[in-house]
Amino acid sequence: MIDTETNKKLTEIFADDILDRLNCNSNELYLTVEPAKILSICKYINSEMGYPLVSMFANDEISLCENYAIYYVFADREKGQFLIIKTLIDPLKMAFKSITGKVHAAARYEREIKDLFGLNPIGHPNPKRLVFHGNWPDEAFPLRKSFDLHHKPDFAKKSINFGKVISAGVYEIPVGPVHAGIIEPGHFRFSVAGEPIINLEAQLYFVHKGIEKMCEGESIEKCLYVSERISGDESFTNSYAYCQAIEKIAKIKIPARAGFTRVVFAELERLTNHLGDLGGLCTDVAYGFAAYQFRMMKGWAYAIADELCGMRFLRGVNKLGGVRKDFIAGKELIIIKALEKIKKELMDTNEIIKSNGLFIDRVEHTGILSKKIATDLNAVGPAGRGSGILYDVRKAFPNEAYRQLEFKIPEHHNGDVNCRINVKIEECYEAIEIILKALEIMPRGKVLEQIDAVAPYQFAFGITESPRGENIHWVMTGENNTIFRYKIRTPSFCNWPALCHAVKGNIVPDFPLINKSFNLSYAGNDL
Amino acid sequence: MVEAVYLIVQISVIILIAPLVNGIIKKIKALTQKRTGGPLLQMYYDLFKMLKKTAVVSDVSSWIFKVTPFIVFSTAVAAALIVPVTTLIKPRWFPGDLIMLVSIFALGRFFMMLAALDAGSTFGGMGASREAMISSLIEPSIIVSLITVGLIAKSTSVFEIMNFMQEIHNPLIHPVYIMSFCALVIIIIAETSRIPVDDPGTHLELTMVHEAMVLEYSGRNLALMELGAAIKQLVFITLLVNIFIPHDQLINITGFAGIGISLLVYLLKIVVVSIVIAIAEVSTVKLRLFSIPNLAALSFILSFIGFLQYFVFGG
């Protein structure tokens, strides 16, 4: 399955440059290449083969092969496969060739690698710091194995430079990191001429917690709890992706009932989040009535979660090898009843907001994200689908359960706030239908397959569609059931730069609305 | 004697009722959203709480920042003296006219914008520039619509206009008045920072207008600013209901009993208008900032058509 025509062609063209080839976990192809050839091969994969760069990360493999490794992860979204280009970096050089000029989505990954590993991307157009702010010293690279987790480096005194727009009448608006509402911290620097926004730079990573470093050396069970806490409202999908990766490494197949239980919870989380987003959008345009309708429905969705597992944020549901217990049995009727109530209310509310001309005027043509930019930056989830990128992990990388369920991916092309609202509303309906269908066809049986021990130095991807989009976790195990490296790439990481592009040319008072239509997670980005 | 009664009634009624209007609007909004909402008198509690607190003043701000709350409050009270809540108490001196009313409000607003800029915060500057834009668009229609009514009444005194309107028992069936009335409704929405022009409930710093200007204020100063805004809102509503929906001609009793009844009817009208505002706010959406000029233009055109119709139909 992994040897597709395109992959064959790639290995033929670059036959001399590919040093090693590893085919594992049924849909992952690892090709090790010379560092010097990385630019040409990545450019070929991205532009000729059309695979987007979905993740990119480094790994300190000095204990394994005396080198740092950089993984460039490309996804074949038609066949549901990963093509990973791996290159080894000599610790004496500590530099690699930047591919940002050709593969634009690499920009933030390369800056992240530079901050966390001290590997220098040569030729990067904007090599400024990403993860750390001015107060972090130059010579501290936390994801190197030689860096102690509990080491506290001294404060450095440097300020953050923002991109400046210099012209008559242009001024800067600094917003945050403390905001007027109760939201996560992030600093936004607007360059504006009157009200229209010329440029926006987002300074994030105020809640950088060092999750990836923290997981290294910890047991795989313990990291499950960490994965649930990556981002508050995506706790289920994050742990879902983590479990998938570990289960792939352990080479076990989870019971069918567990698979469907996970689908039910994942869709419930999507429904809850989308309803919350829609409520937030209505609040931002001061549409009190609709905002409270959506909040009420979100409350009902939370009540379902509470009823099923006693936890509205769905923590403690996933377990390596399945789910903790059979949460669904005997509660089917409660779920069906509650979902039908939500569906009816959602239909009514949808009809009312769609017939409100003033509301449509606010959201239409606001915050347009063009398909070109969305593709270049690999915008995922509702943000990508609103701009005409017809991609959903549940269809492209389906697991056993999703393969048996039928659903549609909403398709919208204008890329404005209205499209993202429509995507979310349609996905709410789809989520309800998926849950109802899953409850119907769910087989009886056990829900947990025991995982005893995992082999050391094995790696695999876990990929799920979180409410915000494609969510990719890469896990490499260490000895004694521990984690050697855990790379988390949440959808927020991809969508933040897309947001900065979408606001350009809009007016300042429309920013909260555009921001809310993306509704990105700060915690999920800052890690 | 009459003057003293007039002053006491005007000031006490307007200051006491002003926060209630906000309370009613919030309560009605909460009820339409299936919420219980805060108590009806919440704004009074908030004001008392804030009045007891000291104000935090930025040390980079100048005297403008410190005097503005007093100017805003006193201009609001001065405006309250011009617009009578009941015409049954008639002072012998001239309490002021329409042009003075508009200028007094402009003075308060001018200092409010200066103070917003004075503190040097970003949002204050944005709020001030937006307020300047909105008010400069709205002010012409205030003048035109009120002067049209003044032309018919042959006086610019609010008192005289109200008395005149009582003689035409139902002003709202006359085309001139309908136009002026509609224009004034839009003006009130814009002047009192209500949806769809501004959102009084928002805490999104980038979209605020009025809230952005008072963002730097705290404690007593904030209480004065908030109370000033509430009084201004009530003065505008009073202007609307007492000119276009007069009720004093129906009261035949003289003396304090008549005044009492008149005030009760007035209170009833205010409550009704508050409920209407609340329902209108719930069912509408805040306009895009750059669509506000359209709304202001609509208001101006309405008032101008009213003005022209005066020459066609006469008073």
Chain B residues with CB under 8 Å of A510 CB are 288-289
Please name the residues between 175 and 234 in chain B that touch chain A, using a CB distance below 8 Å. 195-196, 199, 201-207, 215
Residues of A with Cβ-Cβ distance to B195 under 8 angstroms: 286
Q: Mean of the pLDDT values across residues B110-128?
A: 89
Q: Is the pLDDT of residue B122 over 70?
A: yes
C-alpha distance from A44 to closest chain B C-alpha (Å): 43
Mean pLDDT score across all residues of chain A: 90
Cβ distance of A173 and B126 shorter than 8 Å = yes
Compute the 3-state secondary structure of chain A and give helix, strand, coil in percent, each to the nearest 5: 45, 20, 40
Q: Which fold has domain A5-121?
A: Beta Polymerase; domain 2 (3.30.460)
Contact A511 B206 (CB under 8 A): yes
Cα A27 to chain centroid distance, Å, stands at 20
Of residues A287, A359, A509, nearest to B206 (C-beta): A509
At residue A349, the pLDDT reads 93
CB contact under 8 A, B291 and A507: no
B46 and A CB contact within 8 Å? no
Q: What is the pLDDT of residue A181?
A: 76
pLDDT digits (tens, 9 = 90+) for A449-475: 888 888 889 999 999 999 999 999 999
Q: Rounded to two decimals, what is the model's pTM?
A: 0.91
Structure tokens at A302: 């939370």
**Tokens read off for A258:** 């567990």
Residue B315: which pLDDT band, with cuts at 50, 70 and 90? low
pLDDT tens digits for B272-302? 999 999 988 888 888 888 889 999 999 999 9
In angstroms, rounded to a whole number, what is the distance separating the alpha carbons of residues A41 and A50? 12
CA distance B54 to B45: 16
> How remote is the C-alpha of B228 from its chain's centroid?
10
| Domain span(s) for CATH 3.30.460.80 in chain A | 5-121
A178 part of contact set with chain B, CB < 8 Å:
no
| CB contacts, 8 Å: A287 with chain B | 284-286
Q: How many CB atoms lie within 10 A of CB A164?
A: 12
Residue A10 has pLDDT above 60, yes or no: yes
Cβ contact, residue pair A286, B195, below 8 Å: yes
The bridge status of strand A95-97 relative to strand A28-33 is: unpaired
Interface contact B103, partner A, CB < 8 A = no
- Which residue blocks in chain B are alpha helix, DSSP H? 2-32, 42-51, 63-82, 98-118, 122-153, 158-167, 175-191, 210-213, 219-244, 255-283, 292-313
**Within the 252-311 window of chain A, which residues sit less than 8 Å (CB to CB) from chain B?**
284-289, 291-292, 296
Give chain A positions within 8 Å (CB) of B282: 288-289
Q: Is it the case that residue A17 has pLDDT exceeding 90?
A: no
Average pLDDT, chain B: 89
How far off is chain A from B281, nearest CA to CA, in Å? 8
Report how far residue B190's alpha carbon sits from residue A283's, in angstroms, rounded to the nearest whole number: 20
Instruction: Report pLDDT for A79.
Output: 86
Q: Which residues pair with A469 in a beta bridge?
A: A466
Residues B12, B80: Cα–Cα separation, whole Å:
10
Q: Which CATH superfamily is domain A211-526 in?
A: Cytochrome-c3 Hydrogenase, chain B (1.10.645.10)
Cβ–Cβ below 8 Å for B207 and A174? no
pLDDT in tens, A318-354: 999 889 988 988 889 999 999 999 999 999 999 999 9
Contact state of B34 with A292 under an 8 Å Cβ cutoff = yes
Q: Residue A358: its chain B contacts at CB < 8 A?
A: 196, 284-285, 287
Residues on chain A touching B206 (C-beta within 8 angstroms): 175, 508-509, 511-512
pLDDT band at B60 (very low <50, low <70, confident <90, very high): confident
Across A305-329, b (16+ Cβ under 10 Å) vs e yields beebbeeebbebbbbbbbbeebbbe
DSSP notation for B31-53: HHTT---S-TTHHHHHHHHHHTS
Touching check for A360 and chain B: CB below 8 Å?
A: no
Q: How many angstroms separate the CA of residue A180 from the nearest CA in chain B?
A: 6
Taking a C-beta distance cutoff of 8 angstroms, is the pair A523, A493 a contact?
A: no
The encoded tokens of residue A338 equal: 């509650």
Query: Which of B204, B287, B289 faces A284 most closely, judged by CB atoms?
Result: B204
* Chain B contact for A180 (CB, 8 A cutoff): yes
Separation in Å, CA of B57 to nearest CA in chain A: 18
* A288 closest CB neighbour out of B129, B282, B290: B282
Cβ of residue B92 closer than 8 Å to a chain A Cβ: no
Q: Is B169 on the interface with A (CB under 8 A)?
A: no
pLDDT class for A2, splitting at 50, 70, 90?
A: low
Helix or strand run (H / E) with residue A462: strand A459-466
Query: A285, A296, A364, A421: which to substitute to probe chain B, counting the most B Cβ within 10 Å?
Result: A285
Q: Is B36 on the interface with A (CB under 8 A)?
A: no
Give the residue on B whose Cα is nearest the Cα of A192.
Answer: B126
Out of B203, B281, B289, closest to residue A507 by CB: B289
Mean pLDDT of B157-176: 84
Q: Give me the residues paired with residue A71 across strands.
A: A57, A86
Please provide residue A101's backbone torsions phi and psi, each rounded to the nearest 5 degrees: -60, -35
Work out the pLDDT band at B217, boundaries 50, 70, 90: very high
A110-145 pLDDT per residue, tens = 999 999 999 999 999 988 888 988 888 888 899 998
Average pLDDT over residues B203-219: 86
Averaged over B151-161, what is the pLDDT? 89
Does the distance separating the beta carbons of B287 and A356 come in below 8 Å?
A: no
**Is A180's pLDDT higher than 80?**
no
- A356 contacts in chain B (CB < 8 Å): 285
| CATH 1.10.645.10, chain A: domain bounds | 211-526
Q: Which of A139, A131, A149, A191 is nearest to A167 (CA)?
A: A191
- Substitution target from B202, B282, B285 for chain A, most A beta carbons within 10 A: B285
Q: Do B281 and A288 touch (CB under 8 A)?
A: yes
Least confident of A4-8, A489-493, B255-259: A4-8
B282–A contact, CB cutoff 8 A:
yes
| Residues with Cβ within 8 Å of residue A250, at least 6 apart in sequence | A320, A321, A451, A454
Torsion of CA A294, A297, A302, A304, to 10 degrees: -160
Chain B contact present for A336, CB below 8 A: no
Report whether pLDDT(A18) > 70: yes
Which residues of chain A lie closer than 8 angstroms to B215, CB-CB? 180
Residue of A200, A297, A362 to mutate when probing chain B, most B C-beta within 10 A: A362
- Residues of chain B above pLDDT 90, percent: 50
* Whole-number Cα distances in Å, A410 to A273, A299, A418, B82: 17, 25, 13, 59
Burial string for A174-184 (b: 16+ CB within 10 Å, else e) reads ebbeebbeeeb
Name the residue among B203, B281, B284 with its Cβ closest to that of A180: B203
